[in-house]
Amino acid sequence: MGNATSICSDKTGTLTTSKMTVSEAYFCNTLFTKELLSDENTNQRKKSQDPDLIQFEDSNDNNITTNTNNSSMVSTKSLKEIKDNVPHNVWNGFIMNAIENTTVFIREEDKKKTTELGPKAYEGSPTEVALVQFAISFDESMINKIGGGEDIIKRWPFSSKVKRMMTLIRISTSNSYKSDMDVSGESLTLNQQESSHSRSDTNTTVVNDYHPLQGKSVALLVKGAPEKVLNLCYTIYTGENSDSNQITDITDTIRHEIKSISNDMASRGHRVLGLAIRYGDDEQELIDTNEESTCTFIGLIAIEDPVREGVRKSIDTCRRAGVIVRMVTGDGEATARNIATKCGVLGLGGIVMEGPEFQKRNDDELLSILPKLQVLARSSPDDKKRLVGLLKQMGEVVAVTGDGTNDAPALKLADIGFSMGSGTNVAKKSSSIVLLHDDFPSIVTAMAWGRAVNDSVRRFLQFQLTVNVTAVIVAFVSALIGEGSVLTAVQLLWVKMFFFFFFFKFFSLRSNFSIINISII
């Protein structure tokens, strides 16, 4: 570890606290935020370089509007008012995605202590825990339905390749969601003849046949990266005129607006999730067509994960010590760029690249880019492994952090593998060091001690060569050219004792050391 010249660090839990909370949501053309934007924080908000991204305008009203290039208006309201300001079907779609389309669970003994225990009561990924906590904050009775239970028909778990997860659930007559749905369908018009691949750029309201009309008994829930979820959708809930059943085709204009809002959320350092749903009455049909664009888009959820205290100082320390820190994350470019800037990973002239672009380039191209590459976003475990291999090919001594089973190949390939104490057993077995505290300063501490050991060994060898070898040579040479050694055995012993007692500690050990002024051997 003392020889490390490059660190490839995860974002979540290492550079950030992993204490995630829902900070923003976008449903039915309304942006819900923790705090309403004021004139002061609107002016301080960093403008994106992309002119198509949402830019917040000044307003003294509670409902603040957001202008985009397509001239649509997005109202802004408090996150606390979300349940009262979205249609029932939209809210139910969100609740089902949060509560049933998840791998989070709560132990029976902790179900009555969720308020007291907070996030510790939940078992699962921090992202999903934040979503579940947010949903339960509006209705604690949903605790018993976390994970879906008997309602689950089939689940497609989250994968780093597809960047989404799906769950097919059964909507029974006793299901609490069913009672809240508008299933009359009398005033709705069905247009089943239009192809989902040939939608015109109009605002004509069209209700698809997967909407919860009478007789629909199953629902396909989709959650994941906004662009991946959006690719599976051809309609979207609008909620216009307070009509909970009103949906419209996703036109190019609407698709662009959703992507702009998603990018704007991500540019503030949030992890953004897209949510979608599809209703039906044939389980096998939904299973066979789950990859087709037949879903209805519900909205976006932005999750905040604060940067750890002391991370920026630690990264500055590494930079001054000649160690390059790179952030490798599965989050999108905008989110990764924001967090990397806050942490100090991304500096002037640094390059941010996404996994798909990284995969397209050959090794020769990447080798020319790597010296300036500081952030790898939307990356897969294979991208991480390839990055480590290329850095080693450049002669770097690489340290890698990881906590998941998929990180095992990169952890094994790296010169030093750091696994998190909260990580999987596979990751721990593939790593060199297990961090009990899942934070970046611990890595810097390990590096400092590694350098201290190397430095102490070097100083000790210098001491031995200076004192012992010199004394032996003097005694040996004098014995060859004269009648005997100029130094007797007792004198050699006194010389050795003198140097050991008065100079050994000074030359070979340090009580106070800094990674900055300890050089690499």
CA distance 88 to 246: 11
Contact predicate 336/357, CB 8 Å: no
Residue of 10, 249, 264, 455 with catalytic role:
10
End-to-end alpha-carbon separation of the chain, Å?
A: 11
CA distance 409 to 419: 12
Contact predicate 333/352, CB 8 Å: yes
CA 196 to chain centre: 32
β-strand 64-67 against 433-435: which pairing, if any? unpaired
480 contact partners, CB below 8 Å, separation of at least 6: none
Among 205, 182, 303, which residue's Cα sits nearest to residue 254?
205
Output the DSSP codes for 231-279: TTEEEEE--GGG-TT-EEE--HHHHHHHHHHHHHHHHTT-EEEEEEEEE
- Helices and strands in the chain, H and E counts: 18, 21
Among 247, 221, 224, which residue's Cα sits nearest to residue 236?
247
- C-alpha radius of gyration, the chain, whole number: 30
- Largest CA-CA distance found in the chain, in angstroms, rounded: 121
Q: Of all residues in the chain, what percent are helix, strand and coil, respectively (each to 5)?
A: 40, 20, 35
420: enclosing H helix or E strand: strand 416-420
Pull the structure tokens for residue 312. 């920026």
Q: Considering Cα of 275, then 279, then 282, then 288, what sign does the dihedral take? A: negative
Torsion of CA 403, 408, 411, 414, to 10 degrees: -160
CA distance 91 to 127: 19
39 contact partners, CB below 8 Å, separation of at least 6: 58, 59, 60
Contact predicate 484/491, CB 8 Å: no
Pull the structure tokens for residue 222. 């989709």
Contact predicate 234/196, CB 8 Å: yes
Output the DSSP codes for 334-387: HHHHHHHHHHT-S-TT-EEEEHHHHHHS-HHHHHHHGGGEEEEES--HHHHHHH
288 catalytic? Reply is no
**Catalytic amino acids?**
10
